[in-house]
Amino acid sequence: MIRAFWQRVRIVLTVCGVLSLVHVANMALGGQLNQFGIFPRETASLPHIYSSPLLHGNLSHLINNLIGLAIFSWLCLLRTIRLYVWSSFFIVTLTGILVWLLGRPAMHIGASGWIFGLWSLSIALAWFDRRPLNILIAFVVVFLYGSMIYGVLPQDAAISFEAHLFGAISGVIAAWLSTFKIFKRKLSRR
């Protein structure tokens, strides 16, 4: 039990550490890595759906995303590591594809799509898989972070509401898919 706890702590710290190191490198390069964000419908930018979540425009952007990512990663990891890894990959992939297909013609960077995906996954799992842990987590998330729903609405031209919206949609789809027997068996193991 203690070993599993520390394993999850290491995962969260590693994810946050990677994002921080990428940000330091990007700032040292004068923001040149931002070219690896998603620019919708530009073919060369399609592979950037996996680099985009690692990039942040400034320190404030990074810190806000680190806090959200740490919280919602931890809540997902309370279930299983496999669910976290699979859900994160699915959310990042689907969010990135949807932003690439439907986003405004602007550079989209940041982990907020991933965060909104883990946020909506935390809520939707209670609906699709009504285990007590899922219901408890959903109540906590709705009570403490329910106002995040407003982040899926366009508010500031500098913020990719598309990533927020598509991340939230991707999290619900990930929650739904995780309830199918083929996934449930694989994802329920540690």
Determine whether 146 is exposed, middle or buried from the number of CB atoms within 10 Å of its CB (0-12, 13-18, 19+). exposed
Model confidence at 170, pLDDT cuts 50, 70, 90, reads very high
Question: What was the pLDDT predicted at 128?
Answer: 92
pLDDT band at 141 (very low <50, low <70, confident <90, very high): very high
Is residue 183 very low, low, confident or very high in pLDDT (cuts 50, 70, 90)? low
172: closest CA among 95, 109, 96? Answer: 95
143-169 average pLDDT score: 90
53/95 Cα distance (integer angstroms): 10
Q: Which residues contact 83 (CB under 8 A, 6 or more apart)?
A: 76, 178, 187, 188
Strand ranges inside 73-123, DSSP E: none
Q: What is the mean pLDDT of the chain?
A: 93
Q: Where are the domains of the chain?
A: 2-188
pTM: 0.94
Report the pLDDT averaged over residues 77-81: 93
pLDDT bracket for residue 68 (50, 70, 90): very high
Report whether pLDDT(110) > 70.
yes
181, exposed or middle or buried, with CB in 10 Å at 0-12, 13-18, 19+? exposed
**Nearest-10 crossing angle of helices 81-102, 161-177:** 140
CATH class, 2-188 region? mainly alpha
Identify the pLDDT of residue 154.
84
% the chain with pLDDT above 90:
83
Tokens found for residue 12: 């969260």
Average pLDDT estimate for 113-139: 95
8-27 residue pLDDT tens: 999 999 999 999 999 999 99
Measured between alpha carbons, how far is 101 from 106 in angstroms, rounded to an integer?
A: 12
Whether 177 and 90 have beta carbons less than 8 Å apart is answered as yes
pLDDT (mean) for 25-44? 97
Q: What is the pLDDT of residue 76?
A: 95
Mean per-residue pLDDT for 30-50? 97
Task: Report which DSSP code applies to 9.
Answer: H
**Separation of alpha carbons 55 and 20, rounded Å:** 9
Confidence at 1, pLDDT banded by 50, 70, 90:
confident
What is the percent of the chain where pLDDT is above 70? Answer: 95
